[in-house]
Structure 1
Amino acid sequence: MTSRKKLPVLHTSLEANNAITEAYRNLRASLTYYAWDKRVQTLVFTSLHSGDGTTSLIANLAVLSAQEYKRVLLIDGQLRKPKLHHYFLAPNHIGLSDVLSDKAKIVDVLVETNIEHLTLLPAGPLRVNSAELLGTHKLSRLLESFQEKFDVILIDSPAVLHYSDTGLWARASDGVVIVVNSKSSKSEHLQRAEALLDPFQEKLVGVIMVK
């Protein structure tokens, strides 16, 4: 069992006026303006390397968006190493991998979190080849169906330099955000990531620097 000390922190879950929360609010405002201007509803967040902070960032953004009374769906697209369920103390024994492999219906895997208006789609158990699951037309149809039920859809994708999953998510989504850790990433790493995502250049929303 995971101890409470090891549970990840949601900085935005309380009405706290601190620098971290304010930074998330500013980021949310920028993304909201872009989404409204470009009619972007589904955003994929990826990083250059594993552990760069994408999961924490997207979880907190989802909470802030839900606090604006928007219907938010948070999707854990990290099928190999899912993490989002830890932030909301949610189960992960069933999830996206089950839906894509026809082992469950979507109504059975969506989790209503303890944050009002925020729904989580866990990754679910590890399957043999996650890239093959994401490469089917089911993913596009699934996201299209979500757009009718939710105002904002945020997807946590694996590191673009390590796995091909981000390209598959980008193909089915409206926009892509790259999270860059200023301490562990170099300019050539970002250039490689942009080259890998070049087929989806028109969907690239921007780069977020984290420490």
Structure 2
Amino acid sequence: MELRDYITVLRKGWVLIVVLALVGVAAAAGFSLLKKPVYSASAQVFVSTETSGSASDLAQGNTFTQQRVLTYSNLVQTPIVLLPVISSLKLDMNADQLATMVSATAPTSTTLITITVNGTNAVQATEIANATSQSLTNVVQNIEATDANGTSTVKLTRVKQADVPQTPVSPNVPVNIALGLLVGLALGVGIAVLRETLDNRVRTETDVEKISDKPVVGGIAYDSKASERPLIVQVEPRSPRAESFRTLRTNLQFLDIGTGSRTFVMTSSMQSEGKSTTVANLAIALDSAGFKVILIDADLRRPRVSEYMDVDGSAGLTDVLIGRAGLEDVAHPWGRGNLVVLPAGQIPPNPSELLGSKAMQDLIGTLEEQFDYVLFDAPPLLPVTDAAILSKKASGAILAVASGKTHKGQLAAAVSSLENVGAPIAGFVITMMPLKGPGAYGYGRYGYGYGYGLDEEQPTQRPSQPSGKSQGKLGVLRRANR
């Protein structure tokens, strides 16, 4: 991951990071409040050796004392030292329990022993520290070697008496809160990065670019009411989502596909990625700009165009391909412009064969002479091969990619299926783009611009459809060619 990827992860997961940081602070504060305060009291003992006073004796005595200091410090936690302390202070504990409260340290190259006692009672901790230093002094004098007069050669002197501590050493509230904050932030960032690493869905244009070098020609904002108003360009032309289809129309006009024809197959990796509503709205946007457009439902398995465009779908493309009807008999003029809709017709038993037939090739050639744009709504690529077969005959395929829904593996497989048959890919349209957060639809490349006003006349409601039966079906294509 690059630096910008990490920044994107932080922007997408900032809520989780902040929540976990607050949880860490709350947990640390709660722990600090619930934990009993611990006080620390220390006493210090000096170790010395009795010598004759000569230089050599002093050197030997000093070396001997430093060697013995470590031994004496280890004696502090033994029962021989602690049992007298328990007896003198009348403590309700045994030597092992008291040993957990007492510790001793001896700084290097010194003859000092520091005895420290930690406990929840400040006064008791002080008494134990002083009593332990005195007990250690008595024990050493009893067990160490004596001279000819019976006097111990080693002497322990308490040089620092323990005082009652006023403030506890634990819990350290500021330190605990800082640690809780750091742990919470680390967990939040770690989970956010892990979630992003394991996320195999296409969410942004960058994800598409990593799979194919073909351009992303448009982005369509998510609309929770898309099923209720699929033709948003017609019913609400001033909305930001309608403007996104006009942006797609503009990008499509300047798309260099290397051929003079403008025949596009709208498809997707899997179903429910918004391809049908996208191609229908694109057709209306092209029509409103004055282009002659024919919208053909080539999804001969689950046709939807006739439902969206509200035309009779009992006869259509299949009838034309098998020679049962002429194009002028089954195509429907739509709206007030030059848009013609050709529904799928009856669902055939052999959709792939029909779409790959010579009749389809001839039909595309005829339509390209009569219309500025020929748009096909084709089935998804992964379940069936229909779209790949049809795309090979067209100027290019446009893949609809649902943001946050399409898996990267599915998109890669769809691209491969087109490349394997030699079908050109014109570009991608990212649908269902979020309205907030990183990668959201907004004022960027696919934004709706200043004022999002209309530059062409648009009806505010869907016009009634002319009756094909009253005017004659042959008039459909004649009208489109005016």
Say yes or no: TM over 0.5: yes
Task: After superposing the two structures, state which structure 1 stretch, 54-63 or 112-121, moved more.
Answer: 112-121
Aligned mate of 2:275, from 49, 54, 76: 54
SS at match of 1:34: coil
* Number of aligned residue pairs: 207
Aligned mate of 2:242, from 4, 11, 21: 21
Aligned mate of 1:92, from 310, 313, 334: 313
- Give the whole-Å Cα distance in 1 for the aligned partners of 2:373 and 2:388: 20
Aligned mate of 2:295, from 55, 74, 94: 74
* Amino acid of the structure 2 residue aligned with 1:155: F
Aligned mate of 1:172, from 393, 406, 411: 393
- Give the whole-Å Cα distance in 1 for the aligned partners of 2:235 and 2:322: 37
1:40 Cα deviation after fit: 4.0
1:101 Cα deviation after fit: 1.6
1:39 Cα deviation after fit: 3.0
Query: 1:88, 1:114 within 8 Å by CA — same for their partners in 2?
Result: no
* Amino acid of the structure 2 residue aligned with 1:132: E
- Give the whole-Å Cα distance in 1 for the aligned partners of 2:246 and 2:258: 18
* Amino acid of the structure 1 residue aligned with 2:278: L
Query: 2:261, 2:368 within 8 Å by CA — same for their partners in 1?
Result: no
* Amino acid of the structure 2 residue aligned with 1:22: E
TM-score, structure 1 normalization: 0.91
Aligned to 2:119: none
Aligned to 1:3: none
Rg (Cα) greater in structure: 2
Where do residues 83-162 of structure 1 align in structure 2 (5 Å cutoff)?
83-162=304-383
- Give the whole-Å Cα distance in 2 for the aligned partners of 1:186 and 1:37: 30
- Give the whole-Å Cα distance in 2 for the aligned partners of 1:15 and 1:192: 36
Task: After superposing the two structures, state which structure 1 stretch, 21-30 or 58-67, moved more.
Answer: 21-30
Aligned mate of 1:192, from 399, 404, 413: 413
1:100 Cα deviation after fit: 1.1
Query: 2:262, 2:368 within 8 Å by CA — same for their partners in 1?
Result: yes
- Give the whole-Å Cα distance in 2 for the aligned partners of 1:139 and 1:101: 10
Task: After superposing the two structures, state which structure 1 stretch, 187-196 or 97-106, moved more.
Answer: 97-106
Distance 1:36 1:203, change over 3 A: closer
Task: After superposing the two structures, state which structure 1 stretch, 146-155 or 27-36, moved more.
Answer: 27-36
- 2:63 maps to 1:63: no
- Give the whole-Å Cα distance in 2 for the aligned partners of 1:92 and 1:75: 11
SS at match of 2:249: helix
Query: 1:159, 1:166 within 8 Å by CA — same for their partners in 2?
Result: yes
Superposed CA offset, 1:144-179 (max 9, x none): 000111111111000001110011111211111111
Distance 1:27 1:200, change over 3 A: farther
What is the alpha-carbon root mean square deviation over aligned residues? Answer: 1.9
- 2:266 maps to 1:45: yes
Which consecutive unaligned segments of at least 5 residues does structure 2 have?
Answer: 1-226, 433-482
TM-score, structure 2 normalization: 0.41
SS at match of 1:12: helix
Which consecutive unaligned segments of at least 5 residues does structure 1 have?
Answer: 1-5
Task: State, as a whole percentage, how many aligned pairs show the same letter.
Answer: 28
Query: 1:25, 1:64 within 8 Å by CA — same for their partners in 2?
Result: yes
Task: After superposing the two structures, state which structure 1 stretch, 197-206 or 175-184, moved more.
Answer: 197-206
Aligned to 2:26: none
SS at match of 1:81: coil
Query: 1:7, 1:86 within 8 Å by CA — same for their partners in 2?
Result: no
| Structure 1 consecutive aligned stretches of length 4 or more whose deviation exceeds 6 Å | none
1:202 Cα deviation after fit: 6.7
1:35 Cα deviation after fit: 5.2
Aligned to 1:208: 429
Task: After superposing the two structures, state which structure 1 stretch, 130-139 or 30-39, moved more.
Answer: 30-39
1:28 Cα deviation after fit: 1.0
- Give the whole-Å Cα distance in 2 for the aligned partners of 1:55 and 1:111: 18
1:83 Cα deviation after fit: 0.6
SS at match of 2:400: strand
SS at match of 1:44: strand
